[in-house]
């Protein structure tokens, strides 16, 4: 009985050090062994209010991997006295706000070029419309894409307490906003020439764009419907009766597959080099994200289908 009582009363001490200077920032006494890293962050936050939990990166080694919020203290390779190193991640912004900022910018920027506001093109073209129908169609497709993303951000996507450093948001906005201005400039330029194969090329590309946008939304809705417990999802996405989800038979991240397909459709529709380059760069980045997610699925689920590839069926 005495041993059992001793075990129940046993506590940890946690020393939090600066990862750069190794200076002690905080000493937490009588920490429960089953405390999570998220709870330790909250305790540290009480001592340093400016470093809210989202700004904190805690690790066992100054240059080691950051600990996850759901890591339990007693499961870590530490004794009754733990030394944890702190790194300030800088000001953070919630993912919902990140998506809103990233998507609203391209939407408005493109419309400025489409409307041909003053000081963009020659004065004689101010507030004039293009004679090519594909220009208006491209504007409608581009606007629809980002309006859909804004709606998904508000009503579909679920963000667990994720944040992004403010400096990364500036970089991302420069990427999305800059590309939007570049491709909008050429598509809405007074000297723009329509696709080589005319209306047939535009119509086929529009079909590809619409189908891929519908597929992308279907996958996002499916991912939203997954039942999750805590920060780990207990089941991986599977195909449903919706035909657009059947791509789950072959790839782990069909939302990226459809996203790339939509931009391929817009590239063919406009026959514009900046759109094609944006599609290529986006494909490279989404491939990296898809591979990371694919590896996570394989690691967490022993019965994960072997046929699935990260982003392209049977290829990549």
Give residue 5's pLDDT band: very low, low, confident or very high (50, 70, 90): very low
* CA-closest candidate to residue 195, choices 140, 276, 115, 121: 276
- Asked if residue 1 is part of any domain, the answer here is no
User: Which residue matches tokens 């080589």?
Assistant: 196
Please determine, for residue 10, whether its predicted confidence score (pLDDT) is greater than 60.
Answer: no
55, 108: one domain: no
299, 232: one domain: yes
Number of domains in the chain: 3
Rounded to whole angstroms, the Cα distance separating 181 from 188 reads: 10
215, 133: one domain: no
- Asked if residue 145 is part of any domain, the answer here is yes
Cβ atoms 297, 236 nearer than 8 A: yes
Domain boundary (65, 90, 115) is at 90
pLDDT of res. 193: 94
Mean pLDDT, residues 150-155: 89
Rounded to whole angstroms, the Cα distance separating 32 from 8 reads: 10
Q: Number of H helices and number of E strands within the chain?
A: 8, 8
Give residue 161's pLDDT band: very low, low, confident or very high (50, 70, 90): low
Extract the runs of DSSP E, i.e. beta strands, from the chain: 12-18, 24-31, 56-59, 81-88, 92-94, 163-165, 228-229, 232-233
Task: Give Cβ neighbours of residue 135 (< 8 Å, ≥ 6 apart).
Answer: 114, 187, 188, 192
Rounded to whole angstroms, the Cα distance separating 98 from 247 reads: 28
**What's the CA angle centered on 216, arms 211 and 222, to 5 degrees?**
125
Domain boundary (90, 109, 126) is at 90
DSSP, res 65? P
DSSP, res 74? G
248, 132: one domain: no
239, 280: one domain: yes
pLDDT of res. 286: 96
Please determine, for residue 211, whether its predicted confidence score (pLDDT) is greater than 70.
Answer: yes
Q: Token pair for residue 173?
A: 């906005």
109, 209: one domain: no
The domain in which residue 138 lies consists of 91-150+160-191
181, 215: one domain: no
- Asked if residue 103 is part of any domain, the answer here is yes
Give residue 2's pLDDT band: very low, low, confident or very high (50, 70, 90): very low
pLDDT of res. 230: 45
- Asked if residue 50 is part of any domain, the answer here is yes
* Arithmetic mean of pLDDT over the chain: 87
Alpha helices in 34-132 (DSSP H): 37-47, 95-114
- Asked if residue 39 is part of any domain, the answer here is yes
Give residue 145's pLDDT band: very low, low, confident or very high (50, 70, 90): very high
30, 79: one domain: yes
199, 185: one domain: no
132, 144: one domain: yes
**What's the CA angle centered on 183, arms 219 and 251, to 5 degrees?**
25
- Asked if residue 5 is part of any domain, the answer here is no
122, 180: one domain: yes
- Asked if residue 254 is part of any domain, the answer here is yes
CATH number at residue 71: 3.10.20.90
Domain boundary (46, 66, 90) is at 90
pTM, 2 dp: 0.79
- Asked if residue 272 is part of any domain, the answer here is yes
Task: Give Cβ neighbours of residue 29 (< 8 Å, ≥ 6 apart).
Answer: 11, 13
Cβ atoms 159, 212 nearer than 8 A: no
The pLDDT tens digits of the residues spanning 103-123 come to 999 999 999 999 999 999 988
216, 302: one domain: yes
- Residue 93 CB neighbours (<10 A): 15
User: Which residue matches tokens 């059947």?
Assistant: 246
Quote the distance between the C-alpha of residue 149 and its chain's center: 12
């Amino acid at each position: 009985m005495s041993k059992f009582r001793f075990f129940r009363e046993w506590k940890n001490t946690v020393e939090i050090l600066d990862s750069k200077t190794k200076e002690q920032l905080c000493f937490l006494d009588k920490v429960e062994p089953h405390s999570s890293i998220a709870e330790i962050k909250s305790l540290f936050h009480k001592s340093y209010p400016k470093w809210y939990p989202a700004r904190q990166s805690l690790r066992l080694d100054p240059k080691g991997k950051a600990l996850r919020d759901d890591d339990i203290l007693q499961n870590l390779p530490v004794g009754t006295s733990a030394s944890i190193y702190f790194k300030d991640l800088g000001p953070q912004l919630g993912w919902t706000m990140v998506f809103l900022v990233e998507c609203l910018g391209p939407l408005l920027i493109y419309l400025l070029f489409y409307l041909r506001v003053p000081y963009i093109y020659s004065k004689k073209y101010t507030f004039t419309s293009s004679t090519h129908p594909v220009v208006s169609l491209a504007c409608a497709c581009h606007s629809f894409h980002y309006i859909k993303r804004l709606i998904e951000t508000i009503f579909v996507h679920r963000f667990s307490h994720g944040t992004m450093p403010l400096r990364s948001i500036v970089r991302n906005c420069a990427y999305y906003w800059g590309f939007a201005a570049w491709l909008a400039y050429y598509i809405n330029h007074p000297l723009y020439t329509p696709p080589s194969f005319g209306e047939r090329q535009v119509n086929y590309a529009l079909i590809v764009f619409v189908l891929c946008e519908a597929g992308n939304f279907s996958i996002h809705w499916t991912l939203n419907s997954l039942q999750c417990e805590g920060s780990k999802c207990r089941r991986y996405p599977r195909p449903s009766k919706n035909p657009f989800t059947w791509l789950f038979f072959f790839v782990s991240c069909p939302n990226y597959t459809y996203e790339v397909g939509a931009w391929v459709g817009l590239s063919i529709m406009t026959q514009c080099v900046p759109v094609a380059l944006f599609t290529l760069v986006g494909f490279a980045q989404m491939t990296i994200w898809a591979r990371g997610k694919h590896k996570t699925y394989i690691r967490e689920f022993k019965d994960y289908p072997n046929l699935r590839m990260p982003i392209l069926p049977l290829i990549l």
